[in-house]
Structure formats: C-alpha cells, structure tokens
Amino acid sequence: MPAFKFLYEKRRISGERSADALKLTGADAPGEEWEVVPTYDAKCLVAYLMSLDQSHELQEAKLTSAPAAPASTPAASAAASPAASPAPAKEEKK
C-alpha cells in the first residue's frame, strides 16, 4: 500500500480491473486478485489541490541560488568563464 493508507482501499478484483486502480510494483503490489484504488476523499483532495491558484510566487519560498550576473560587462563575462582564470601554481617537491 502507498503512504497515507486512509486515502486508498484494497479490494478484490471482480471481473475487470478498475480504471482508477494504481499500478504498483515490488513490495507495494497487492497481489494478482487485488487492486488498490483511491477513495472518494483522495479524489476530492486532488481536485482541491489542482484548483489552487499557482500563478504567483510565494513569499515563503526563497530562491536557493543567486540570479546570474549580466554578461554585458567584460569583467562579468571574464569571471563567468573558467578559461579566463589562471591555472593554479604547482608546488615543487623536495
């Protein structure tokens, strides 16, 4: 069974497999004569989540990386290019 077991029900296949049945493999597979289907509550939850407005950025979500510097200046393009940096000096072995 998947996580949140209260959102699914395991039932015996009678006749044809349900169109909503999950295709599970491995340890989660219910067996040959059984299927796992989402409950009415699970379908309602998915419908609600899909209806939420996602057209704007959230203030709570912070950027994980800094925006790239504009490459219009020569200094910025030289810093962004790995070939522009000098090779590290090699130490002499004694």
Q: How far apart are CA 54 and CA 52, in angstroms?
A: 6
6-43 pLDDT, tens per residue? 999 999 999 899 999 999 888 888 888 999 999 999 99
SS3 label, residue 40: helix
Who's near 1: CB < 8 A, 6+ residues apart? 8, 10, 28, 30, 36
Record the tokens describing residue 25, joined without a space.
């493999």
pLDDT of residue 59: 78
CA 25 vs CA 12, 14, 35, 38: distances in Å: 17, 20, 12, 16
pLDDT of residue 34: 94
Q: How far apart are CA 22 and CA 38, in angstroms?
A: 8
CA 90 vs CA 83, 84, 87, 93, 94: distances in Å: 18, 18, 9, 9, 13
User: DSSP class of residue 7?
Assistant: G
Q: Region 33-54: what's the mean pLDDT?
A: 93
Residues of the chain above pLDDT 70, percent: 64
Query: What's the pTM?
Result: 0.53
User: Which carries the bigger pLDDT value, residue 2 or residue 12?
Assistant: 12
User: Which carries the bigger pLDDT value, residue 60 or residue 86?
Assistant: 60
pLDDT of residue 90: 61
